[in-house]
């Protein structure tokens, strides 16, 4: 089992730290960091927890996920895994879909999945228990479609959500409350969304993160994972003013709707 903690950065970013829940005899207190957009809070966390940085995982090239790499590598000289992309020169170990990573002395295995849509170079790191999805899948939402096409992004989400229903989703931003407000606009009669809004409000009042979320909860409340359902299709068709012929077309309409919500 892994111990996974969030390091807050900027206004709403989460940088994830991963380490074994227990250290065995003779094992160093090693950890992994995912998407360090800012080195300073990560360095403070490493010092506080007396951790040695073993590796950095990068999901895509946006600055708020990569700007801390150089400073961290200068101190810890660790490998940097990430997509094959000329936009991230600090990557030392490029990975692609289908690759398997064995990390933390064999304690953690992760599969690499290519999930273009938010950016074309976006990847995720996944096993049956955890998924580190960057900005592709959010709690109750998904990332903006900066570089990809709607069909491509929709298929990326299908790949991510093929994991077990109890898989924990670790995304990179605290957007849940705003995402749920939009989800409620798409499906105003969805009681699961209303219940989740109350839960999220209580967490945020205590300044607690709303992430990770369980994949099963996303299936019940995330409109971008519900594009095949009549309620979301009807809302999208009303928004578009025309009949939509596929779940990917529904996705395109509600993604554009969210952009202007």
Residue 148 has a pLDDT of 87
Alpha carbon of residue 21 to chain centroid = 21
Q: Which residue is catalytic, options 35, 38, 61, 118?
A: 118
Annotated active-site residue 122? The verdict is: no
- What are the CB-based long-range contacts (under 8 Å, 24+) for 66-69? 66/35, 66/36, 66/37, 66/90, 67/36, 67/37, 67/38, 67/39, 68/15, 68/36, 68/37, 68/38, 68/39, 68/40, 68/42, 69/36, 69/39
Annotated active-site residue 99? The verdict is: no
Start-to-end Cα distance in the chain? 39
Instruction: Please state, in angstroms and as integers, the Cα–Cα distance from residue 238 to each residue in 193, 204, 232, 243, 257, following that order.
Output: 20, 33, 10, 9, 11
Q: Which residue is catalytic, options 173, 189, 228, 259?
A: 173
pLDDT by residue, tens only, the chain of 261 residues: 899 999 999 999 999 999 998 765 445 689 999 999 999 999 999 999 999 999 999 999 999 999 999 999 999 999 999 999 999 999 999 999 999 999 998 999 999 999 999 999 999 999 999 999 999 999 999 999 999 899 999 999 999 999 999 999 999 999 999 999 999 999 999 999 999 999 999 999 999 999 999 999 999 999 999 999 999 999 999 999 999 999 999 999 999 999 999
Annotated active-site residue 135? The verdict is: yes
Q: Which residue is catalytic, options 35, 60, 61, 122?
A: 60
Q: Which residue is catalytic, options 35, 38, 61, 65?
A: 65
Residue 21 has a pLDDT of 84
CA neighbor of 176 nearest in space, from 217, 130, 148, 146 = 217
d(CA 19, CA 108): 9
Annotated active-site residue 64? The verdict is: yes
Q: Which residue is catalytic, options 35, 38, 61, 62?
A: 62
pTM (2 d.p.): 0.95
3-state helix, strand, coil in the chain (%, to 5): 35, 25, 40
């Amino acid at each position: 089992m892994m111990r996974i903690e969030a390091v807050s950065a900027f206004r709403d970013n989460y940088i994830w730290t991963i380490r074994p829940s227990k250290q065995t005899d003779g094992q160093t207190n090693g950890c992994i960091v995912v998407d360090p957009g800012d080195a300073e809070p990560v360095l403070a966390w490493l010092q506080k927890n007396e951790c040695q940085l073993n590796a950095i995982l990068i999901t895509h090239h946006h600055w708020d996920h990569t700007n801390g790499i150089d400073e961290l590598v200068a101190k810890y000289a660790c490998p940097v895994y990430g997509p094959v992309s000329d936009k991230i020169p600090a990557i030392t170990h490029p990975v692609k879909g289908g690759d398997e990573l064995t990390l933390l002395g064999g304690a953690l295995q992760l599969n690499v999945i290519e999930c273009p849509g938010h950016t074309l170079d976006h990847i995720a790191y996944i096993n049956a228990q955890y998924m580190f999805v960057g900005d592709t899948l959010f709690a109750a939402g998904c990332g903006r479609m900066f570089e990809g096409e709607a069909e491509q992004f929709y298929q990326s989400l299908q790949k991510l959500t093929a994991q077990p229903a109890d898989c924990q989703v670790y995304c990179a931003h605290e957007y849940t409350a705003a995402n749920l407000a939009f989800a409620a606009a798409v499906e105003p009669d969805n009681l699961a969304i209303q219940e989740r809004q109350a839960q999220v409000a209580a967490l945020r009042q205590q300044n607690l993160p709303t992430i990770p979320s369980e994949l099963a909860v996303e299936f019940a409340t995330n409109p971008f994972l519900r594009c095949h359902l009549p309620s979301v299709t009807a809302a999208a068709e009303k928004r578009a003013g025309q009949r939509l012929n596929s779940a990917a077309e529904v996705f395109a309409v509600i993604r554009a709707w969210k952009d202007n919500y």
